[in-house]
Structure 1
Amino acid sequence: MPSKWFSSSAYRHKVVLVSGGCSGIGRALVLRFAQAGAHPVILDLDQAALDALVQHLREHLNVEALGLRCDIADAEAVQRSVALAIERFGGIDVLVNNAGITHRSLFIETELTVFRRVMAVNFYGALHCTQAALPSLLARHGQIVVLSSLTGFAPLLYRSAYNASKHALHGLFDTLRMELEGTGTAITLACPGFTATDLRRNALVGDGSVIRQPAVVLGAEVASPRDVAEAIYQGARRRRRLLVLSNVNWRARVLARFFPRLFEKLLVPKMSGLRPGH
């Protein structure tokens, strides 16, 4: 493993593509990599936010960045965006699969379109970005950072589609990591806990509409995007395979690991928030 990845200058002049990079953890990661001297390529759906962030990076950090409006659920749009990034900067060194959406609804009340939309963004979006960027990542001995979730280990109630999408990410990228063994291209799966982002404030409900109020979470503190991004950045710099950043206390994690039925009975309902409609 190249020792340069452990140095404080590991990302200087590197090209870092971040999906969903205009808000929450994604924006915080864009800023953190930019502070380390990287050239961010930012994919997002909000053109105004993209323009503002690129301008901020140029004026305040003297960093050249590229903002591209792109729906990562559209494989062809992703291919075009990655091609533009490579044309602009010569290649991609780091891919951060960050973009995601969630929902809060009982399985029996959740329409198939919600499952398809959540999987289209959370799973297929990461798949599309990875397929498009992988040739360049391989050529540059780069790395992939995947934003999974606490739900990859402890599924929450009322989020069956979201939980399923995160489990699918683990299956995909754990397999890909084995296939890339010896290529010099690394994969980090990062699993944050509860974080104060727009993801929680803009959850889908069963019919596909958006609820603007975040779920009230009991039994866990809510982390800031900046703190989560810093932890992910440091883990990526060390090329960690798995980062579990859960802010659920250690007793809850021990309970989930060794006494899952007790964990499901005592803590999952509190962590999941109120039942939808209540």
Structure 2
Amino acid sequence: MTRELKGRVILVTGAAGGLGAALCRRYAAAGARIAAMDLDAARLDDITAQLRATGAEALALPGDITDPTACKAAVTATLAQFGALDGLINNAGISHRSLLVDTDPEVIARVMAVNFFGAANLTQAALPHIVARQGFIVAISSVAGFSPLTGRTGYAASKHALHGFFDSLRSEVEGAGVGVTLVCPSFIRTGIGAAATDGSGAPVSSPRITTGGESSPEEIAQRIFEAVAAGQTLLLPDATARKAWWLSRLAPGLYARIMKKRVGREFAGLP
């Protein structure tokens, strides 16, 4: 697979964050050329400079994935720089921690805009070029993409939407040789939890409650790399995610009670 990736062009969103940066490094180490997109231009420049220091080819694409025009521009810039686009990793995401009754509708709209519409925008812009190369598309979902999660209604909705979108897209492009992989981790040591907002859109000050251990970004990046190479359609990259998958399907009521008991401790007003 390393030989196959040499010279291939991979576009990664949320590239300045923990998992995004780890994915950039992993694919660059395999010889891929990296188009790195993020809203944080300064951190993005740091990441691409680090990649170039290792001998990799890297392009910084500062931009907002919620803007369809910016997504088209990112794809155009990638093609202008590298001449092709072989893979897209939709990694950018944000979260919130608030009961729905305490959540401003604008918070949910923003979460949906980044997590779902951002991925849809960029995928649509990139799709003809990826089909031409028989490449791959990855969407970073979550355990919240296939099961409920108390206090994160907007986040769970955005991740559930990814599953409907990318599972349906797979049926449209698999015959053209394009792979589509959904990734559903539980907890990763990245900035998404620390950067979560409350119901008003302000940063959350209290730490999140986790179940099981947290994986490092590098561990998850490696598992994604292997899953894409193997043509997997769904990756549950850690033990907590795998347990959640099976329990939520075999005993959904029990799963919901356990989840609410653990995560619900974050919310004093939860009945």
Give the shorter-chain TM-score range. Answer: over 0.9
Structure 1 match to 2:39: 45
Superposition deviation, residue 268 in structure 1:
3.5
Is 1:244 matched up with 2:247? no
Identity over the aligned pairs, expressed in percent?
Answer: 41
Equivalent pairs, count: 270
Specify which of 15, 24, 43 is matched with residue 9 of structure 2.
15
Structure 2 match to 1:160: 153
Is 1:92 matched up with 2:49? no
Name the aligned partner's letter for residue 28 of structure 2: A
Name the aligned partner's letter for residue 102 of structure 2: E
Name the aligned partner's letter for residue 166 of structure 1: K
Is 1:125 matched up with 2:140? no
Superposition deviation, residue 251 in structure 1:
5.5
Alpha-carbon distance in structure 2 between the residues aligned to 1:251 and 1:134: 33
Kept in 1, the 8 Å contact 2:215–2:238? The answer is: no
Name the aligned partner's letter for residue 91 of structure 1: A
Structure 2 match to 1:76: 69
Superposition deviation, residue 249 in structure 1:
7.3
Q: Deviations over 1:106-161 (max 9, x none)?
A: 01111110111000000000001101111110111111011010112222110000
Name the aligned partner's letter for residue 151 of structure 1: A
Name the SS for the 1:204 alignment partner: coil
Structure 2 match to 1:32: 26
Specify every segment of 5 or more residues in structure 1 that has no aligned partner in the other structure, as ranges: 1-6
Alpha-carbon distance in structure 2 between the residues aligned to 1:139 and 1:117: 32
Name the aligned partner's letter for residue 12 of structure 1: K
Structure 2 match to 1:113: 106
Pick closer, same or farther for the CA change 1:130–1:273 going to 2, 3 Å.
farther
Alpha-carbon distance in structure 2 between the residues aligned to 1:233 and 1:30: 11
Is 1:269 matched up with 2:261? yes
Q: TM-score, normalised by structure 1?
A: 0.92
Alpha-carbon distance in structure 1 between the residues aligned to 2:264 and 2:130: 37
Name the aligned partner's letter for residue 127 of structure 1: A
Name the SS for the 2:167 alignment partner: helix
Q: Which has the higher helix share?
A: 2
Superposition deviation, residue 194 in structure 1:
0.8
Structure 2 match to 1:192: 185
Kept in 2, the 8 Å contact 1:12–1:38? The answer is: yes
Please tell me the root mean square deviation across aligned C-alpha atoms, in Å. 1.7
Specify every segment of 5 or more residues in structure 2 that has no aligned partner in the other structure, as ranges: none
Name the aligned partner's letter for residue 217 of structure 2: P
Larger displacement relative to structure 2 (255-264 or 178-187): 255-264
Superposition deviation, residue 266 in structure 1:
2.5
Alpha-carbon distance in structure 1 between the residues aligned to 2:86 and 2:49: 22
Superposition deviation, residue 267 in structure 1:
3.5
Pick closer, same or farther for the CA change 1:98–1:197 going to 2, 3 Å.
same
Q: TM-score, normalised by structure 2?
A: 0.94
Alpha-carbon distance in structure 2 between the residues aligned to 1:251 and 1:122: 24
Structure 1 match to 2:252: 260
